[in-house]
Structure 1
Amino acid sequence: MTLIADLPPEVFRLIGDYLEKRDILNLVLTCRLFHQLYYPLLWKDISTIKPGHDEPIHSVEQLRAHAEWVHYIEYGPLPLEYYDISFPNLRTLHRLEPTEDSTQQTQTMPLMTTRMTTTLKEQDLNWARFIQLNPNIRNIICLYRSKVEFKSTQFWQAVGTHLQSPRLLMMSRFCVHNLSENEAQVLWRAIGRFEELFYMGEERQLGLSHLRTMYTDTDLDTDKEDHCSTLKRISFFAKNSSHPEWHLRFFSRYRNLIKLYWRRSKSQYSMEGLAWHLEQQQWPQLEDLHLDGVIASDQDLATVVCQLPPSLKHFGLGSGDFGPLCFRHLRERFFDTLVTLDLEGCDTFTSRMALDVLLNCHRLEEFKAAAISLNDLYSTPQPWVCLGLKHLKVTFINDIKDNNYNNGNEDNNEDNNEDNNEDNNEDNSEDSNEDYNEDNNEDNNEDNSDNSDVNSDDSDNSDNNDDNVNNEDNSIDGINNSGSALVFEQVSRLRRLGTDILGSGLQIKFVHHKAPPRID
């Protein structure tokens, strides 16, 4: 008889990956076997400070004793001795910063300004020492919770020189106007060591000279491959920025980019500048481009699309006038290669354009659009070719007129019932004229019985159609609206051919068309 204790350790570890920390703690307290197997998981993901508290959760001795089990840690600000611990398997460092309340309280004390500055410099040195002791860190998360100036030159210097294989850097609520010129140069050099950057910062009250300092490093031009070849993915959100050309200057350093997500507070984008960099083949391997917060014309967007490299597979636009000119370039150049298309935020991306995508992009796996007209869908019943579609998000507008396809299969079933009744009655009358009177009664009875069977079968078919249409497993809300059976037919076909679209990947909404307000 096989017992649970006979399972191999790798099975237990796999089970542990799906358990909450509270459940793991209960298992650890159950028996010696579970304690041995699952106790290390309690230390895999830890935090050193409780929110709203200054006292560390774990002592230095506890952290040293369990250091080999730690893979993810939320760290700092802590006493000096905590920065002298080596975690051999640490992969993700979430650097905690002082809360805004605590820093504001310190800043309101003029006599403590020198002491605060000294403390910040010491913290910077502590962080640099921690990085030097943990060169296996791959991911760094810096979510700044205050807007005071942080001395971080030594920290970023250590990140740029000591980490062996940095992968992801996340910086949120970062204020570049708090950086000195030297700090900015050290920061951008460190960023170039990572494979992926997620940056969300503010640029308020920055002049051109300061921006030039932030985003320009002449030393990088002399040794570009050494500093800039690693970074491949950038997600960049600059709040309150009015000089996008300096962002492009920053992006152009990294010639091996395969992903660029550029989001700004809604303002005029430098489309000419972006098109120029694309024309110069600054990013020849670019596969994923997403622009958000765009205020640009169809012509401006078209100049960008026509310069995109042929390697493009994923394209998204959060706003802007995406018109017929831009769509023509997209169709001619990328319909055969597009895997992801997100134009949900573009009201000018029409229903006909969306259907054209579904009818021609055979590699498409994810598609988001604002709306598709059911009337347009009814007029183009050709099957969708995107057999690999996994995620579809769109609103279908119920604007079918003249009852061309009123209530889907239900009307078809009603028409079938009426036709069957008429045909059967005609047959009955013909038989009654040809047969003997005695047989007429029997034939009529039998035919009427058959009629009732046919009608009941048609009624059952109607019920079955309704059941299929409203089946919760299909995850299509509002599918029983007028004309929605057209959508169900297309989605069902994709499912029969093997696509994994149904479920959480399908977000469809049906709304009734509303006439525009009358203007007198």
Structure 2
Amino acid sequence: MPTILDLPDEVHLLIGEQLSSKVLYSCVRVCRSFYSVYIPCFWSDIRVKQYKCNSIGPDQLRANAHLVETINYSSTLTNDYYTIVYPRLQTITTSTYFTDRKEPTFLQVQPHQKVQFARLHPTIRKLSFDQPDCPSREFWEVVETEWKDFESLDLSGVVLEDVVDVFWRLLEQVKKSEGLRYLKWDVTDIPFPSRMVMDAFKEGCWPELCEVDIAGPTSSDQDLAKVLRMLPSQRLKRFGLMRDELGPLTYGRLRGLYCGHLQELKIGRCTGITSSMTQELLTECVHLVYFDAPHIFVRDIATALKPWGCLRLEILVTFIVKQKDDEGEWEGKVFKQISKLGRLQTLDLQRFPHPGDKTIRSSEISYLQTLGFRLSPSSNPEDICGYGNNDNTSSNSNSNSSSSSSSGGHLSCWSSLVQLRVLIFDDDQQTLGMEEALWMTEHWRVLRCICGDFKGVKGDNVNKLEQLFSKKGVLHLKH
């Protein structure tokens, strides 16, 4: 009889891509066959730090370098790590953590060593740079001339004053990277160089660019709108704007030119976003997979002429706001609308999803109520969601439906969200109990994380709640 050991290596590799590092570590210890199959998955994506528990030494890393495809180098690594050659390397991330600055090897590697490392790895396609010592002009010349398949550039973090000019010049060095598809700018105190980007567009550079994330101090609304209008590919699939205002011109360009292309839209940390704008985007951006916006009113969802068009949505981050004069049945319509998102995997409905950004919306909105998740024992979920039998002979059912509508519907409408893995809810004005926890774990079979306080669980039931989540393999976090 065939066993799991008889599966082709290609199938094992597909399985390995879905497993966590902890599970992979267990797999490679099962038997020699599993070791040979799963060890490439274990080494394909590595984060390397210095002076940390279980850190990977340069000799061990060099012995497995042929398996590495993605690597994260911290700012505390020594010269030895930059002499290692990874023949299959495609993604390199250089990161800086707060504690790194206290280490004796912080930024010890010299610029010429980073240039040599870049030259030895022409296979790199994606670069994410977050270290205060910006690479030299020579480094960017290597990127331009030798990284033939370069497609993703992510510049983040705080830079030292004496290297600011290098950041302004670096775009000159990567203009000829014709395959560039993704550009992220999140450099503290250095505005997004919109003028230089527009000049690059005029020269015919970056014809494939279709993903843009901008953070930190940004350009004017007029300049950002021009950047979007001049985008050579004319098919923006991903756009993120953080810690700034989304002006009317930029919003107009997004809605007018790219609603039919956008798959990821992250504007949850912007000011200037109204509830009606959020509703318009959810309705018109039919290809959205990831959507992050500050808030949306129950009123706007319930009274909209058209339903949301983003039925492919997998991640939704927004705060759903109730107002004092809302009609009773409107909340039920909101539950019904979300229930149609059958591909949803992450649902984040908390008041402040982005720590430190509590100023992005007015206090009048921030402290209003949100959806109530309490289950109503007397209600019929099918009636609440609008799926029940409308036959007049079912007078009791209709009575329950009317009662439930007046209370606004509840959690049981979301039994259709069978792919939900992460739920983050606002617990300031929620009193969820054991009944809701049992319902969630029973209906959302692939649920892996719940973030929120079940304030209705008291005394001995607190331990029972944690035992329930542990038994179901659900991580429970509190705000």
TM-score of the pair, normalised by structure 2: 0.59
Cα distance, 1:140 vs structure 2: 4.9
Deviations 1:86-133 (A, max 9, x none): xxxxx5565554569x9xxxxxxxxxxxxxxxxxxxx99x79xx85x7
Q: Kindly tell me: are residues 41 and 250 of structure 1, through their superposed partners in 2, closer, same or farther at Cα, counting changes over 3 Å?
A: farther
1:408 alignment partner, one of 317, 324, 330:
330
Letter in 2 for 1:353: M
Q: Which segment is superposed worse, 227-236 or 320-329?
A: 227-236
Q: Kindly tell me: are residues 232 and 268 of structure 1, through their superposed partners in 2, closer, same or farther at Cα, counting changes over 3 Å?
A: closer
Q: Kindly tell me: are residues 241 and 400 of structure 1, through their superposed partners in 2, closer, same or farther at Cα, counting changes over 3 Å?
A: farther
Task: Indicate conservation of the 8 Å contact 1:392/1:506, yes or no.
Answer: no
Cα distance, 1:322 vs structure 2: 0.9
Structure 2 residue matching 1:136: 3-state secondary structure? helix
Aligned to 1:435: none
Structure 1 residue matching 2:291: 3-state secondary structure? strand
Choose between structure 1 and 2: higher helix proportion.
1
Letter in 1 for 2:415: D
Task: Indicate conservation of the 8 Å contact 1:391/1:506, yes or no.
Answer: no
Aligned to 1:421: none
Alignment partners' CA distance in 2, 1:6 and 1:268: 60
Q: Kindly tell me: are residues 285 and 505 of structure 1, through their superposed partners in 2, closer, same or farther at Cα, counting changes over 3 Å?
A: farther
1:283 alignment partner, one of 206, 215, 224:
206
Cα distance, 1:325 vs structure 2: 0.7
Alignment partners' CA distance in 2, 1:353 and 1:508: 27
**1:30-429 aligned within 5 A:** 38-41=31-34, 72-73=42-43, 91=44, 95=48, 97-98=50-51, 136-144=66-74, 146=76, 150-151=78-79, 155=83, 159=85, 163-173=86-96, 178-190=108-120, 192-203=122-133, 214-216=136-138, 220=142, 227-240=146-159, 243=164, 244-252=167-175, 254-265=177-188, 267-309=190-232, 310-399=234-323, 401=325, 403=326, 405-406=327-328, 408=330
2:3 paired with 1:7: yes
Q: Kindly tell me: are residues 276 and 389 of structure 1, through their superposed partners in 2, closer, same or farther at Cα, counting changes over 3 Å?
A: same
Alignment partners' CA distance in 2, 1:70 and 1:239: 34
Cα distance, 1:388 vs structure 2: 2.3
Cα distance, 1:368 vs structure 2: 1.2
Structure 2 residue matching 1:375: 3-state secondary structure? helix
Task: Indicate conservation of the 8 Å contact 2:183/2:211, yes or no.
Answer: yes
RMSD: 4.6
Structure 1 residue matching 2:130: 3-state secondary structure? strand
TM-score of the pair, normalised by structure 1: 0.55
Aligned to 1:469: 410
Deviations 1:357-382 (A, max 9, x none): 12222222221111112333344332
Structure 2 residue matching 1:357: 3-state secondary structure? helix
Structure 1 residue matching 2:206: 3-state secondary structure? coil
Task: Indicate conservation of the 8 Å contact 1:193/1:230, yes or no.
Answer: yes
Larger radius of gyration: 1
Task: Indicate conservation of the 8 Å contact 2:193/2:219, yes or no.
Answer: no
Letter in 2 for 1:228: W
Q: Kindly tell me: are residues 40 and 314 of structure 1, through their superposed partners in 2, closer, same or farther at Cα, counting changes over 3 Å?
A: same
Alignment partners' CA distance in 1, 2:399 and 2:332: 9
Structure 2 residue matching 1:268: 3-state secondary structure? coil
Alignment partners' CA distance in 2, 1:8 and 1:217: 47
Letter in 1 for 2:181: I
Structure 2 residue matching 1:202: 3-state secondary structure? coil
Letter in 1 for 2:400: D
Task: Indicate conservation of the 8 Å contact 1:241/1:265, yes or no.
Answer: no
Letter in 1 for 2:411: N
**5+ long unaligned stretches in structure 2:** 334-391, 418-422, 430-443, 453-479
Aligned residues: 350
Cα distance, 1:257 vs structure 2: 1.2
Cα distance, 1:321 vs structure 2: 1.9
Letter in 2 for 1:262: W
Structure 2 residue matching 1:201: 3-state secondary structure? coil
Cα distance, 1:408 vs structure 2: 3.4
Cα distance, 1:346 vs structure 2: 0.8
Cα distance, 1:250 vs structure 2: 4.8
Cα distance, 1:153 vs structure 2: 9.2
Q: Kindly tell me: are residues 463 and 334 of structure 1, through their superposed partners in 2, closer, same or farther at Cα, counting changes over 3 Å?
A: same
Aligned to 2:396: 456
Alignment partners' CA distance in 2, 1:505 and 1:249: 45
Task: Indicate conservation of the 8 Å contact 1:99/1:145, yes or no.
Answer: no
Q: Kindly tell me: are residues 335 and 264 of structure 1, through their superposed partners in 2, closer, same or farther at Cα, counting changes over 3 Å?
A: same
**5+ long unaligned stretches in structure 1:** 29-37, 46-68, 74-90, 103-122, 204-210, 412-451, 482-500, 510-520
Alignment partners' CA distance in 2, 1:8 and 1:235: 40
Alignment partners' CA distance in 1, 2:8 and 2:262: 41
Identity of aligned residues (%): 16
Q: Kindly tell me: are residues 43 and 327 of structure 1, through their superposed partners in 2, closer, same or farther at Cα, counting changes over 3 Å?
A: same
Task: Indicate conservation of the 8 Å contact 1:374/1:400, yes or no.
Answer: no
Task: Indicate conservation of the 8 Å contact 2:137/2:170, yes or no.
Answer: yes
Letter in 1 for 2:34: L
Deviations 1:478-517 (A, max 9, x none): 89x9xxxxxxxxxxxxxxxxxxx998799999xxxxxxxx
Structure 1 residue matching 2:188: 3-state secondary structure? strand
